[in-house]
């Protein structure tokens, strides 16, 4: 019975608005400090990150891409973007830990023990999405772009535009893989229910097929299937997450 009641904030006393703001200030400070340290690490290994991690997928295409820099300080700006975004991505798990530590005191007693699992799942899902984009989506799209068109035209794309496409693909894929976790929280709030998701499952699958068709270059059915399967799996995991959230939501109500 007592496990279902919410724990009071730390030190068994109510925290004032200023206490919350002070705690939030330290959370932001630690998160920014983590990003700065990660940026320093990325600056040390900036050559390897740019040449091997960022540019290598485009250099593995047939024919390989060759990039150009039309600006005088373009490469300096390019390295700065690599360091900044690399720091943000590298420090993401640490940022998530700090965020959940700030949220934890406001949770129920039986919910606090799940914080570490949710923290791990958040970071893992984001990293899994980036890995999927890097090893599946990017090679497919770049191979199509390199082989499409006239053989008398040589591709010399702007390296800054390539970096924008690279970052957008990687980060958006990481965010999409967070959908089950978002479904869980919407389910806890009562906004999203499993019945609603099951009712619109067919509509969702058609939409996912349409998205896979758009993302797959050249309309290749095999590539569409490769993209559709993880999207479908994410939707089913989201349904499962909303079911778990609904059970967790009903337990405190039944106890009350």
SS3 state of residue 68: strand
pLDDT single digits (tens) 197-217: 888 888 888 888 887 777 665
**Nearest-angstrom CA–CA distance, 70 and 50:** 18
Q: Is the predicted pLDDT of residue 10 greater than 50, yes or no? A: no
* Residue that is written with structure tokens 């009641």 in the block: 5
Residue 3, CA distances (Å) to 22, 110, 111, 118, 217 in order? 29, 6, 10, 19, 53
> How high does pLDDT run on average in the chain?
80
- CA contacts within 13 A on the Cβ side of 174: 19
Look at the block and give the residue holding tokens 């630690």. Answer: 30
- Summarize pLDDT for 96-141 with one digit per residue, the tens: 888 877 776 666 666 666 667 777 888 888 898 899 889 988 888 8
The string of pLDDT tens digits covering residues 14-67 is 556 676 677 778 888 888 999 999 999 999 999 999 999 999 999 988 888 889
CA angle 124, 130, 134 (to 5 degrees): 145
Supply 8's token pair. Answer: 């009071």
The DSSP H or E segment spanning 141 is: helix 138-147
* pLDDT tens per residue across span 242-253: 887 777 666 655
How far apart CA 90 and CA 170 sit, in angstroms, is 13
For residue 77 the two structure tokens come to: 């700006």
Q: What is the pLDDT of residues 138-184, one digit of tens each?
A: 888 888 888 877 778 888 889 999 998 899 889 888 888 888 878 87
């Amino acid at each position: 019975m007592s496990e279902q009641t919410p724990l009071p904030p730390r030190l068994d006393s109510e925290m004032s608005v200023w206490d919350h703001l002070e705690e939030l200030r330290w959370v932001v400070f630690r998160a920014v400090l983590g990003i700065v340290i990660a940026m320093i690490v990325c600056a040390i290994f900036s050559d390897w990150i740019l040449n091997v991690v960022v540019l290598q997928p485009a250099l593995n295409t047939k024919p390989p891409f060759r990039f150009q820099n039309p600006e005088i300080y373009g490469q300096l700006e390019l390295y700065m973007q690599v360091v900044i975004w690399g720091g943000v991505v590298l420090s993401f798990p640490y940022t998530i830990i700090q965020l959940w530590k700030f949220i934890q005191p406001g949770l129920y007693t039986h919910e606090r023990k799940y914080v570490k699992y949710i923290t791990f799942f958040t970071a893992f899902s984001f990293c899994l999405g980036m890995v999927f984009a890097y090893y599946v989506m990017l090679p497919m799209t770049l191979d199509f772009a390199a082989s499409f068109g006239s053989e008398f035209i040589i591709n010399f794309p702007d390296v800054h535009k390539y970096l924008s496409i690279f970052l957008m693909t990687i980060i958006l894929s990481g965010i999409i893989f967070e959908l089950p976790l978002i479904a869980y929280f919407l389910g806890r709030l009562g906004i999203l229910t499993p019945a609603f998701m099951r009712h619109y499952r067919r509509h969702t699958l058609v939409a996912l097929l349409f998205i896979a068709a758009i993302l797959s270059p050249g309309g290749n059915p095999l590539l569409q299937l490769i993209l559709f399967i993880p999207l479908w799996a994410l939707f089913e995991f989201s349904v499962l997450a909303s079911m778990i959230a609904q059970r967790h939501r009903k337990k405190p109500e039944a106890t009350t």
